[in-house]
Chains A and B, each alone.
Chain A
Amino acid sequence: MEDKQLEAFEIDCLLGAILLRYGYDFRNYAQASLKRRIHNRLTLSNLQHVSEMIPRILYDEHFFSEFLCDMSITVTEMFRNPEVFKFIREKVVDKLRTYSRINIWNVGCATGEEAYSIAIILAEEGLLNKTHIYATDYDNQALAVAKTGIYPANVMQQYTENYLKAGGRQSFSDYYQARYESAKMKKNLREKITFANHNLMQDGSFAEMHLILCRNVLIYFNQTLQNSVLSLLRDSMVHHGYLVLGDKETLDFSSVANDFESVDKQRRIYRKKRLR
């Protein structure tokens, strides 16, 4: 057997072991990036062959939680693609205003920056008080950071620029307390967001949402998992609820394409049709 084939075989065994031991099916992740990550972990752990990870995964839960961190790529920022937040502010918020209570689900929230961004928009539009934001991820380490709402001070400059491009009306520094090297998001924002563990590979629906942001999460999944997640999102929202995808993602070829209409193609904003 060629080395390459042998390694493909080892990866299959590794993913099978994870599925049997922990119930997470990484076979439904886009394999190229997964493979890159497995290789990084291999080097960091001073191992030579992928198969050597299998006993570690089976017997060492700490090793598995490190592996999970490797797999969850938590790179994010506040007001990423500011024009999307501007559009939400200008075109979506008025529709949300008509509801007596607003539920928002930030799917794959990573370290929380996106959840705080949407909270700020709603605060400026006077809707935060009747809104609840559920921000979920399967990476507990990222969620722990999100809950503290503490970010390095040196990224605030960039976030301020994004905030202004997103149509920010105040001074961005009103939203956090600067302390030495860090900035802590203010309590009135934090208490409106529930950060919780939710694994898209296995967990279900938990509330009826009016707006769902699921950005840069589906890109890591294969068609099967994308479709199952998209069905879950569809079934977790009210008629005419809004769905926002990442900058390079689309519903076009998905199994739920007909259940949504496109509100703004370029900004990847969709609205659920009234289903019979």
Chain B
Amino acid sequence: MKKSYQAIVIGASMGGMEALKMILAQLPDNFSLPVIVVQHQMRDSDDFLAVYLNRHCAIKVKEACAHELILPAYVYIAPAAYHLLIEEDKTLSLSVDLPVNYSIPSIDVLFESAADVYGESLVGVVLTGASADGSQGLKKIKAYGGLTVVQDPNTAEAPKMPSAAIKVTQIDHILPPDKIGVFLRELTNDEG
């Protein structure tokens, strides 16, 4: 029997905007899972990224609000200067806090809390970036039985982040960005 997934988390840093656009543009507007994203941004960025991606994608993209209920067919983007976490009742939670891995939002913070909530029903994706953020989180996702996907470092604008993730944990799929969206779509089609 195929495993069924409940959520996808994606972490991206330098070069992430284009990679995200490529991936999210391949998801349909009735996609059966929620997608929760941390993209490192400048501290004083507004919701430009969510607005931009929403314009270019069929699936609905919005900035995450505190206490918002997580719904399928939505992409939630972490706001600048807040950590984004997931609560047991499948709501989003935000926190003003110290940076983790020099970053707020931090990918590890999102991934670790998502692993706690979704366990083996979670898909974690680490994309391009010049940071090591995300690798500990991805490791936890794997340890809890979730699926791990990393952008092929050779295709990344900044290979450090995907390479760091590959180094610390077992990765199920290493893919170029133009294949990741299709891959995620097929994952949901195979459900049940």
Contacts and interface: CB of A to CB of B under 8 A. Distances in A.
Given A30-B93, A32-B87, A75 B113 contact: no
Nearest to A32: B85
Given A31-B88, A248-B66, A250-B65, A216 B93 contact: no
B96 A33 contact: no
B56 interface: no
Contacts of B66: 218-219, 248-250
Interface in A1-35: 4, 30-33, 35
A33 B93 contact: yes
Q: How many B residues are at the interface, by size bracket?
A: 20 to 34
A253 B95 CA distance: 19
Contacts, number: 58
A253 B91 CA distance: 13
A194 interface: no
Given A73-B96, A219-B94, A253-B67, A32 B119 contact: no
Contacts of B95: 30, 33, 73, 219-220
B79 interface: yes
Contacts of B82: 219, 248
B86 A223 contact: no
Nearest to B115: A4
B66 to A, nearest CB: 5
A130 interface: no
Contacts of B112: 36
B179 to A, nearest CB: 32
Contacts of B79: 247-248
A75 B85 contact: no
Given A30-B87, A36-B109, 6 more contacts: A33-B85, A73-B95, A73-B97, A75-B97, A248-B65, A248-B66
Please give me the 5 A-B residue pairs with the lowest Cβ-Cβ distance, nearest first.
A32-B85, A32-B113, A30-B93, A216-B96, A219-B66
25 contacts: A4-B116, A4-B144, A30-B87, A30-B93, A31-B88, A32-B85, A32-B86, A32-B87, A32-B93, A32-B113, A33-B93, A35-B113, A35-B116, A36-B85, A75-B96, A75-B97, A76-B96, A219-B96, A246-B96, A248-B65, A248-B66, A249-B66, A250-B65, A250-B66, A253-B67
